[in-house]
Amino acid sequence: MNRNFNRAAALGAALVLFVCSIPQAAQGDAEVRLPRLFSDNMVLQQGTTVPIWGWGQDGTTVTVKFRDQSVSTRVLGGKWIVRLRHLKPGGPDTLTIMAGTTLKIKNVLVGEVWLAGGQSNMEFPLSRAFESSNDIASAANPMIRLIQVPHTRLNEPTNDIDASWREATPESAAGMSAVAYYCVRHLQAKLRVPFGLIESDWGGTTAEAWMEDGFLRANPEYQIGIIKAWSLEEANYDRSLKEYQKEKQAAKESNTAFNKPVPRRPWKPSELYNGMIAPLLPFAMRGALWYQGESNAGSTERAEQYHQLFPDLIRDWRALWHEGDFPFLLVQLAPYKKIQHEPAESAWASLREAQLQATQKLPNVGLAVITDVGNENDIHPTHKKPVGERLALAARAIAYHEPIEYSGPVYKRMKIERNQIILTFDHVGGGLEARDGDLTGFAIAGADGKFFRALADIKGNTVVVHSPLVEEPAAVRYGWADYPVVNLWNKAGLPAAPFRTDDFAK
């Protein structure tokens, strides 16, 4: 399915599925049914417990066979589930499900499975990436399997998707997430085992749309700041839509031009979890890749909310999957200058800070910093290969425990000495360096919180910051802007994350 051109059809199919509540299996068997997530060409996660589930008539005995494992259960309440254990990488093999008649899922590999989620920069297809022409032509790889979840907005959780797995080919890879594809391609080449990529993303979406309703409602702050706020936005949308339709009809009747854009419906909390995440549970996977946040950076208040909301999204998904603190790897927002704010007012800088802090609050969370591949005038920068490959470095270190440097410099602490501030970093990666000239992007302030452009110099593994305009410095900021122009890197070839040492804006 080409979801870019068949979104309405996908949504209609999902709504029919939900309303009718009759799960259908791609294999068409009447006695036992499987989610479409289980299809030919799929990948099962190695080295863990792998749930296989479906539906059937109560009391029916279901037997699942794969390689040398055979597990049986009975259908209860219309549902059944079994678990395969500690599968070794390789294949292809056949997954057999028997319950009176037999279903066979063929060409199944065992390896690593990753879920890619987020908004438009994750959804951005390989076909549009700057580096893609040669990469699409060479994409044929039977060791990489791909599946895309159709765009689906629902008020209640559904249990199936209208999609199936495909081998990586020039045709199938071209429409996949460029960031996720480059990440998985890098990992597959390094680990030499099969990889499966589940893509579930949608441009322009908010983080709360991807979170489970019960989790949001359990937090009183979200009841007001998200759920109630959405109700007000929805009411405003209804009024705007009626006014738009009235004006459009008037223009039609008077035979005049009408170029006003259609009002955009606000994203309802949990509706994408319901339609695009719930049907994936509890499919076994290694971890998640995430690129989202632009839609939560519309104001400084929303960006500040993300400091709590984003870690909670990670907690929510981890609780739903019951796989512990699985790796969650994210991309920090790219530089973008739609509206350049003053440093203290930058919602984008605040949201980047929330993304960085999530890696410090929670275990097994990694960050790909991309201050070097933004586009001043385009919220969708086309250089996606370095983004995906930096996610892959984080995966190799966090998920696969390789002793490699996977992050650029991260601010650790500061020390004030006379009229200068000395900054210390984690992840110096063999040493600090300035790319293309003297260090830039630093600002310094005194206790009054008034920042001035600063001079900065690398001294060993520290950065010394000062300004003749600030005699008694109190704080430093680096890259604190919508569109930061910065050049601090480590010698491992990774850029430093923007940061601030102060909390003046709070």
pLDDT in tens, 92-106: 999 999 998 899 999
Tell me if 87 is assigned to some domain.
no
Mean pLDDT of 372-381: 95
Tell me if 57 is assigned to some domain.
no
Rounded Cα distance, 470 and 418, in Å: 11
For residue 278, the 8-state DSSP code is G
Shared-domain flag, residues 10 and 131: yes
4 pLDDT band, cuts 50/70/90, is very low
Shared-domain flag, residues 463 and 424: yes
Mean pLDDT of 130-156: 97
Tell me if 81 is assigned to some domain.
no
The fraction of the chain above a pLDDT of 90, given in percent, is: 91
The predicted structure's pLDDT at residue 23: 39
Shared-domain flag, residues 327 and 468: no
Shared-domain flag, residues 184 and 145: yes
The predicted structure's pLDDT at residue 77: 97
The predicted structure's pLDDT at residue 56: 96
Mean pLDDT of 434-456: 97
Position 398: which residue type?
I
Tell me if 139 is assigned to some domain.
yes
Instruction: Tell me which of 268, 288, 303 is where a domain ends.
Output: 268
Cβ 355 vs Cβ 368: under 8 Å: no
Residue 344 has pLDDT above 90, yes or no: no
Cβ 219 vs Cβ 211: under 8 Å: no
Residue 148 has pLDDT above 80, yes or no: yes
- Cross-strand bridge partners of residue 339: none
Rounded Cα distance, 167 and 241, in Å: 43
Q: Give the pairing of strands 451-453 and 442-445.
A: antiparallel
87's CB contacts (< 8 A; 6+ apart) are 44, 45, 46, 47, 50, 66, 67, 110
Mean pLDDT of 346-370: 97
Residue 387 has pLDDT above 80, yes or no: yes
The SS3 of residue 477 is: strand
Shared-domain flag, residues 195 and 263: no
pLDDT digits (tens, 9 = 90+) for 250-309: 999 999 999 999 999 999 999 999 999 999 999 999 999 999 999 999 999 999 999 999
Shared-domain flag, residues 276 and 254: no
Domain of 446 in residue numbering reads as: 410-500
Residue 247 has pLDDT above 60, yes or no: yes
Tell me if 76 is assigned to some domain.
no
Shared-domain flag, residues 254 and 299: no
The predicted structure's pLDDT at residue 198: 98
401 pLDDT band, cuts 50/70/90, is very high
Mean pLDDT of 152-180: 98
22 pLDDT band, cuts 50/70/90, is very low
The predicted structure's pLDDT at residue 31: 80
- Between 295 and 31, the more confident residue is 295
Which secondary structure element, helix H or strand E, spans residue 350, and what is its range?
helix 347-361
Domains identified in the chain, total number: 3
Shared-domain flag, residues 389 and 311: yes
Tell me if 479 is assigned to some domain.
yes
Shared-domain flag, residues 415 and 336: no
The predicted structure's pLDDT at residue 21: 36
Mean pLDDT of 239-258: 95
Residue 466 has pLDDT above 90, yes or no: yes
Q: Which of 25-39, 172-186, 241-255, 396-410 has the lowest mean pLDDT?
A: 25-39
The predicted structure's pLDDT at residue 505: 59
Average pLDDT taken over every residue of the chain: 93
Residue 9 has pLDDT above 50, yes or no: no
Q: What is the CATH number of the domain that holds 131?
A: 3.40.50.1110
Rounded Cα distance, 465 and 496, in Å: 15
Cβ 350 vs Cβ 484: under 8 Å: no
The predicted structure's pLDDT at residue 200: 98
Tell me if 86 is assigned to some domain.
no
Shared-domain flag, residues 203 and 220: no
Residue 25 has pLDDT above 90, yes or no: no
Instruction: Tell me which of 377, 406, 435 is where a domain ends.
Output: 406
Residues 178, 181, 187, 188: is their CA dihedral positive or negative? negative
Shared-domain flag, residues 176 and 254: no
345 pLDDT band, cuts 50/70/90, is confident
Instruction: Tell me which of 235, 268, 301 is where a domain ends.
Output: 268
Tell me if 297 is assigned to some domain.
yes
339 pLDDT band, cuts 50/70/90, is low
CA dihedral 223, 229, 235, 240 (to 10 degrees): -160
Shared-domain flag, residues 245 and 337: no
Residue 202: CA count within 13 A, CB half-sphere = 21
- Between 418 and 344, the more confident residue is 418
